[in-house]
Structure 1
Amino acid sequence: MLPTGNSKVTLVYVCGFLLGLKCLQIAAKHVSSLLLHKNTMAKANEGIKLDPKEVKRKYRNFKKFDVVEDYSDHHFLKSKSSWWQPPKKWTKKIQEEWRILKRDLPDMIYVRVYEGRMDLLRAVIIGVEGTPYNDGLFFFDVCFPKNYPNEPPQVYYHSGGLRINPNLYTSGDVCLSLLNTWHGSKNEKWTPTISTMLQVLVSMQGMVLNAKPYFNEPGYEASRGSASGENLALEYNQRTLIYSLKTMVYTMKKPPKHFEDLVIGHFRDRASGILTMCRDYYTKGLGVKCGIVVTTETATSQDNKKEVEGYMKTLVGAFKHIGLEDREEFVAEGEAKAENLTLQLQKKKKKKKNLGQKILSCFVI
């Protein structure tokens, strides 16, 4: 029997009270998550040593896919769908996407979705070895539109103001046929009945953050394999390596929410490898792990090497920022090797000059 008279008023108050209580619970969880984030980063900022065992444990146990609550730093926080009540069909489709991601995410891609905002998602892709993005962390914020999957998801790249790829703009725009943000064949475009969020992430990992991103630029693919095309691709990789290193630094200084343990654990684990890669590149021109092998010195490659050499100290400082000490040795060792290499080149030039003078003297009467 439905309540009448004052009973109706009482019911309204009770419902309002319960709704308010639920909002307070959600707010409390958000505050708790925010405090945890600040506490973790405060330790690194203040130079407090993090327990290496605890850092390693959290890093190893970091889930590829998880549902979280605090979305306060998400790029699409104020999107129109924030006040929209989604229909069951849309909710069911998003839940299906979650199941696919949880089951099939490949290595080196991590995803967080939000309990209170099913329209939002955040992903990070780890740069693959053999590319100029090697060991970097590249973050993307995603928003599922109201008419998803009839329209593709909106994707924003956290660029830090750096243009590391022809498909990734400093504005955060992502240019990809699958997102309908670039023209392509029918098979490359978003297909509502087939395409998925997993497909988008895998495409960005394999087709965007690849070994020779120079050829992603419209019209440049035709020069692949030619001497001029490959030289330009090599130069592009050398510049991209510098931007990738800078991306590492700003990510360590300000990791996105819910990825703090991954960022700190990943860079503490990979620090020596990253510094060795940089040292080998600017002392020998051999950055095999980052897809760079310089066989012919040019003014451009020399400038890039000097910039990487100079940036080593900044990298070491960033690693120290996350509690990793004793990496200055890489800078000192690299500087010594670079100095020796310079001396060797000077000796070779001197020998050639002396040889040329001897040959010339033979013809002097």
Structure 2
Amino acid sequence: MKKEKKIRLGISIGDLNGIGSEVVLKTFQDTRMLDFCTPVIFASVKILSFLKKKYQTNINLHGIDKTSQILDGKINVLNVWKEPLDIKFGEEDEKVGSYAIKSLKAATQALKNDEIDVLVTAPINKSSIQSDEFKFPGHTDYLDQELQGNSLMFMITDDLKVGLLTDHVAVKDVAETITPELIEQKINTIHHTLKQDFAIAKPKIAVLGINPHSGDNGVIGKEDEEVLKPTIQKIIDSGKLVFGPYAADSFFGSDNYKAFDAIVAAYHDQGLIPFKTLSFGKGVNYTAGLNKVRTSPDHGTAFEIAGQNKADNSSFKEAVFAALKIYKNRNEYQDLTKNPLKKQPRKPQNKNNQQQA
């Protein structure tokens, strides 16, 4: 019987002054991970060899200089650079930030060339990455430029999925950024993602209001009445199961979210505060809406504990498994779309029996 091809999982190393390298190394210290994928870390084998000793991770690294040298059953480290780099744990450093971007760009190019199948990104520091060559607020905006589609920040666990209408937008600019066109685009992206990437046949989507109490019929802002509600109705009329807007302050505390496959929040903190509170460090940041799969842990560089061997790799490990599952689901969905008679369609899944993220 022909062996199933291992998924090549690319990893950008993130800010080396943070905890990214630690959670990567701790994840692949478990040799069973190599049964699920072939990791390719875009960094420097010399630096990672130094860091694996620091973090007392008993793993073997396979240094390579080009993707044609990738080996299954090995933790491949593709040398994006070979010169020494001064690591100062817990500090913002533009030079170290520039190496995080070297890693990201090399991994993204390999993803575009189909030399790797999926990408998992370790955390970067949004301040130290800024330069004349890189003027993006983070991974998502860069990948939106480099990969086809329209990106959507989608925070996921097995039981909770939260998408954002606006992500890295100042609070003062949120209301004017949310337009009917944006609402339609984001909700349609989430709907398609739930079907294609999470195998949910008929997704149920809840939408949170923009203003407190969803505007109280226009008393607290007009955006919910004049922009959000008419657009939601238009989407409902197209045949999608979309509900709301719901008042955000009571939605999660009352467990309303458990009745839906995804929740759409109006802005960053409205969605991420309840998500991170409920996910307990097991959450994953998935960039939906693109032609390639990219995930990341739901935390940042954590400079305050960097270099102390205290980092929990749970979220990074979940990001790896999410990328693998999404890749398989997406390939199956696309195969069924192209060849509808090849296999029986997958059965719709209820909320308590969805594919693991």
Larger helix proportion of the pair:
1
Bigger RCO of structures 1 and 2 (CA < 8 A, at least 6 apart): 2
Under a length normalisation based on structure 1, what TM-score does the superposition of the two structures give?
Answer: 0.28
Under a length normalisation based on structure 2, what TM-score does the superposition of the two structures give?
Answer: 0.28
